[in-house]
Homo-oligomer: A and B are copies of this chain.
Amino acid sequence: MSLNSFGHVFRVTTWGESHGPALGAVVDGCPPGVALDEGWIQPFMDRRRPGSSKHTTQRQEADRVRILSGVFEGQTTGTPIMLIIENTDQRSRDYGDIARAFRPGHADIAYHQKYGLRDYRGGGRSSARETAARVAAGAVAQAVLRDLVPGLTVLGYMVQMGALHLNRDAFDADAIRDNPFFLPDPSAVAEWEAYLSAIRKAQNSVGAAVEVLIRGCPPGLGAPVYGKLDTDLAAAMMSINAVKGVEIGEGMAAAALTGVENADEIRMGPDGQPEYLSNHAGGILGGISTGQDITVRFAVKPTSSILTPRRTIDAAGQEIELITKGRHDPCVGIRAVPVAEAMAACVVLDHLLLDRAQTGGVRGRIGG
């Protein structure tokens, strides 16, 4: 029941504030014997880190991860893995004038009311900086999945930014790594750049929607009724800062469908495995994976740290106007892409381990 942990078997606990000396994650329950080193993890961090593109926050962090435990001679030992990331570019003076003020749209007032005090620098624990720790943990999960389920891939990308929507007919997975938007449509990148630059210049910010595609997930993962795979995926995405909605497969659009439209019929495939004729279910039935592609999608609200004045109050009950200075993101949704991949990897691995706990990983046979 840790408030700062997630997972059932592969259990991650994160710690650290935006302007503290460091932050990190303890990964517990990791299978032993998996090759792991800092060189494996660092590229995952680099995709996420602030300052890596002009479109994300201008805070420059190296986000260098060190492994302090749980790995010996290049392999996981099965003991807890401590991943630590030092904060090097926290500019406390940027926040000095809002020590007692509650930035509208941020967690400041809620933290104050709940805890009675808060580390106000950079949002303290409520900052998206915490997600760096998740990305490190997700890299560990990816190492294990690499060994346990070689065909499984987790791919995140943006599908919407404000008024702009991904053209799914132009979907090109290879393009994702080549542009700062994680956008799988190279032809649209220029348009997205222009759009976001205009937002930034107007001292505004914009929301986004991110999708994660999980391919090659074995069937049978998920623990009904309250540990369903889609429940845990939804919770994982909803826990990311600024997320307001989560969808699996058809998502909210399912409300408009009829049963005839929605049913995924089944035949036997050439390999003697079940073959689905469609995938409205999004790869999950009754909370359990079917082996089909799993799509998870979520919406990120626009940053509240905009540079136009806002009316608010402070802890003394004074009504004030506030401009949140400092380095800010016009679209926090972009950086959520690697975070979402990390969360998805952790959840899928967790369920792989949970499934083999209860069933030994043996699958029910279909056919001869």
Contact = CB atoms under 8 A, between A and B. Distances in A.
Contacts of A300: 254-255
A11 B1 contact: yes
A268 B230 contact: no
A73 to B, nearest CB: 8
A9 B358 contact: yes
A140 interface: no
Interface in A138-195: 160-163
A263 B3 contact: no
A15 interface: yes
Interface stretch (A21-29, A36-44, A45-53, A56-64): A21-29
Contacts of A290: 109-110, 113
A31 B113 contact: no
Contacts of A209: 252, 255
Looking at A230, A260, A356, which has the most chain B CB atoms within 10 Å of its CB? A260
Given A224-B126, A267-B319, A80 B13 contact: yes
Given A162-B256, A244-B251, A266-B311, 17 more contacts: A1-B1, A1-B11, A2-B2, A2-B29, A13-B26, A14-B80, A15-B80, A20-B68, A105-B264, A111-B288, A112-B366, A130-B225, A206-B258, A253-B299, A257-B301, A263-B304, A357-B357
A190 to B, nearest CB: 21
Contacts of A301: 250, 254-255, 257, 262, 280
Interface residues of A, number: 158
Contact of A354 (B112, B285, B357): B357
B259 A254 contact: no
Nearest to A277: B311
Given A16-B82, A208-B255, A116 B359 contact: yes
Interface in A96-118: 102, 104-107, 109-118
Contacts of A257: 162, 206-207, 301-302
B366 A287 contact: no
Looking at A109, A222, A315, which has the most chain B CB atoms within 10 Å of its CB? A109
A31 to B, nearest CB: 6
Contact of A4 (B32, B104, B226, B252): B226
Contacts of A219: 110, 113-114
Contact of A310 (B13, B23, B29, B265): B265
A294 B175 CA distance: 39
